[in-house]
Amino acid sequence: MPAVQDTIDRVRKIDVDQYKYGFQTEIAVDKAPKGLSEDIIRFISAKKDEPSWMLEWRLEAYRRWLTLEEPTWARVHYPKIDFQDIYYYAAPKSTPGPSSLSDVDPELLKVYEKLGIPLREQEILAGVQKTDASELEEPSDNVYKSGRVAVDAVFDSVSVVTTFKKELAQAGVIFCSISEAIREHPELVQKYLGSVVPTSDNFYATLNSAVFTDGSFVFVPKGVRCPMELSTYFRMNEKNTGQFERTLIIAEEGAYVSYLEGCTAPQRDENQLHAAVVELVALDDAEIKYSTVQNWYPGDAEGKGGIYNFVTKRGDCRGDRSKISWTQVETGSAITWKYPSCILRGDDSSGEFYSIAVSNGYQQVDSGTKMIHLGKNTSSRIISKGIAAGFSQNTYRGQVSAHRKATNARNFTNCDSLLIGDQCGAHTVPYMEAKNSTAQFEHEATTSKISEDQKFYVMQRGIPEEEAIALIVNGFVKDVIQQLPMEFAVEAQKLIGISLEGSVG
């Protein structure tokens, strides 16, 4: 921005009204006592009615966690987290099963209504109860009529409702909460849980392994193309709770699934912790497309409050010719610490990472990806767009490595940063490691502000400055937006607009 002072002023004006998901809902909850101990883990496990192997798994992770230190290498600064001052389990008192929807707390449904989540409101939820698959196929008149989306909604610590289960089951797809999966499909969970992100992986993943309370489970069997988009909405509502969800997606040979997660939280002055783990497994010829629209509460204009988002996401291209694609739009959270990665184990497998990270106010983003090439003829592609405004710090941190046997590994990386205002920072920290002479890695990164020429070009066509900048920013992130499922591309574009409000308009 040329008028630096002007920008600062405008950024200052950002007030709490901007975060439109900042409401809080009074719902009766069932909470575990504050703090973390083996007893709390036993409590969570008992609440979830888990088999004993699961409890053992959690306890082992907890014991391991006690020996670990919090990582400090990321470019994020925050006061030390008191892990004993968090509620590790909070659940809305009524826990509805799909058969008793009337049990769902109307307040809860209102929350989702406010969020605009495609639960298709009451009638769709009711639909899950009363109708069979044929009736569900009728197009409804909501905005998502172009494509149907099955939703798993996670409220604080538990999954409250999953839609379209029946129809998915007909196709052989299992889509349910992970707690349900542990009870109903233990053989699958036992086989895959922790196989991509082991319990000993890192501080936050280990903590998650010990205390995770819910999340989604997706299993797409051999040769099945999942008939609709799958989606999970995460909502943190209770005060002082941490949300620790665990998502596990398995695509068997030749299967395909597209999955989207969205996240919001109420506005609070204190910080809340979110430490999720996502594991993806793609067998031979399978493809998983994972999209995230992350809009946790980012804190107020002074940087007070907001979510600490410490997430471990990893996909394992276990089979030959498998493909995993991560797309993320990161606009929320006070702190983002997140590196969705691909392990390209199978020959000819490929990984993709498309990211838009927008930071404003006092947000701190340290995000990127890892592409680990192990198999032959593997390829990966990284497109990262960072936009920093206000007083925020926006870091891309990525690693691309080719191991000795990764013949013909290919990578292309492009990370561009856009700076709006002179109080923010944009950083690029790529690591490239080649141990095979046939590997071919390309990396390019640029940092700039919106050029005067671009702005002049648009403005001389009669478009006001703020709109011109918005247009240019949208052009800047286009490569990534295009990767999102269509239903969410519009939402993401709007979100970027809202996040930058007050700095570019």
Partner 1 sequence: MNMHTQPQRTPAETALIDAFGDRLSLLPGDGAVMLKRDDAIEAIKHGLPTRRVESWHYTDLRRLLSVVPDFDPTALAKAVAPIVEGSAVLPVLNGKSEAKVPAIDGVAVQSLSEKLIDGSIAPGLDPYGSDDAIGALNTAFVADGYFVDIADGAELEKPIELQNLQAGGQTHVRLAVRVGAGAKAVIVERQAGDGAALVSSVSQLVLGEGAEVTWLIVQEQPEMATHLAQFKAHIGKNAKLTLFVMNAGGKLVRQEVMVKTTGEGADFKLRGINLLAGDTHSDVTMVLDHAVPHTTSTEIIRNVVTGKARGVFQGRINVHQYAQKTNAKMACNTLLLSDDGEFSTKPELEIFADDVVCGHGATVTEIDHDHLFYLMARGVDEKSARGLLVKAFVAEVIEELDDETIVEALEARLDEWFVTHG
CB of 262 closer than 8 Å to CB of 456: no
As given in the structure block, the two tokens for residue 346 are: 């199978």
Residue 425 CB, nearest distance to partner 1 (Å)?
Answer: 5
Find where tokens 């083996």 sit: 38
**CB neighbours of residue 435 within 10 Å:** 13
Of 61-120, binders to partner 1 (CB under 8 A) are 73
Closer Cβ to partner 1, 47 or 403, answer by number: 403
N residues, the chain: 505
Q: How far is the CB of 461 from partner 1 (least distance, A)?
A: 24
CA distance 186 to 371: 30
Tokens of 312: 């471990």
Phi, psi of 274 (to 5 degrees): -130, 115
Cβ of residue 7: shortest distance to partner 1, in angstroms? 9
CA distance 289 to 326: 6
Nearer to partner 1, 388 or 468 (CB): 388
Footprint (CB under 8 A) of partner 1, residues 360-419: 404, 417, 419
3-state secondary structure of 160: strand
Q: How far is the CB of 292 from partner 1 (least distance, A)?
A: 25
Nearer of residues 242 and 430 to partner 1, judged by Cβ: 430
Q: DSSP 3-state assignment of 359?
A: strand
Q: CB-wise, 96 or 425, nearer to partner 1?
A: 425
Unique residue bearing structure tokens 């239903």: 487
Q: CA 501 from chain center: how many Å?
A: 22
Residue 140 or 440 with smaller CB distance to partner 1: 440
Q: Which is nearer to partner 1, 306 or 421 (CB)?
A: 421
Query: What's the closest the beta carbon of residue 95 comes to partner 1, in angstroms?
Result: 45
Q: Minimum CB separation from partner 1 for residue 410, in Å?
A: 10
Judged by CB, which is closer to partner 1: 354, or 441? Answer: 441
Burial 445-462 (b: 16+ CB within 10 A, else e): beeeebeeeebeebeeee
Name which of 438 and 482 has its Cβ closer to partner 1: 438
Q: Nearest distance from residue 321's CB to partner 1, in Å?
A: 24
Q: Please say which residue, 131 or 454, places its beta carbon nearer to partner 1.
A: 454
Which residues are 260's β-sheet partners?
231, 291
Count residues contacting partner 1 (CB under 8 A)?
A: 36
CB of 380 to partner 1, least distance (A): 13
Q: In whole angstroms, how close is the CB of 383 to partner 1 at the nearest point? A: 15
Question: How far is 434 from 429, CA to CA, in rounded Å?
Answer: 17
**In the structure encoding, which two tokens stand for residue 341, read together?**
């990665």
Q: What is the DSSP string of 126-153?
A: HHHHH--HHHHTSPPSSTTTTS-EEEEE
The answer to whether 312 and 197 are in contact (CB under 8 A) is yes
Q: How far apart are CB 429 and partner 1 at their closest, in Å? A: 5
Residue located via tokens 């410490």? 310
Interactions with partner 1, residue window 417-456 (CB under 8 A): 417, 419-449
Q: Are strands 341-344 and 306-317 parallel, antiparallel or unpaired?
A: parallel
DSSP 3-state assignment of 505? coil
Nearest approach in angstroms of CB 115 to partner 1 is: 34
Is 276 or 400 the residue whose CB approaches partner 1 more closely? 400
Please list the helix, strand and coil fractions of the chain in percent, rounded to the nearest 5, in that order: 25, 35, 40
Cβ proximity to partner 1: between 151 and 424 the closer is 424
93 contacts: CB under 8 Å, gap ≥ 6: 27, 28, 29, 30, 105
- Beta strands at 287-294 and 271-274: parallel, antiparallel or unpaired: unpaired
CB of 479 to partner 1, least distance (A): 17
> In Å, what is the CA distance from 323 to each residue of 1, 227, 237, 280, 316?
40, 18, 35, 11, 9
Q: Give me 110's structure tokens.
A: 């209102």
- 55 vs 429, beta carbon nearer partner 1: 429
Which residue among 3, 4, 66, 133 contacts partner 1 (CB under 8 A)? 4
**Which is nearest to 182 in space by CA: 343, 320, 53?**
53
- Would you tell me which residues interact with partner 1 (CB under 8 A)? 1, 4, 73, 404, 417, 419-449
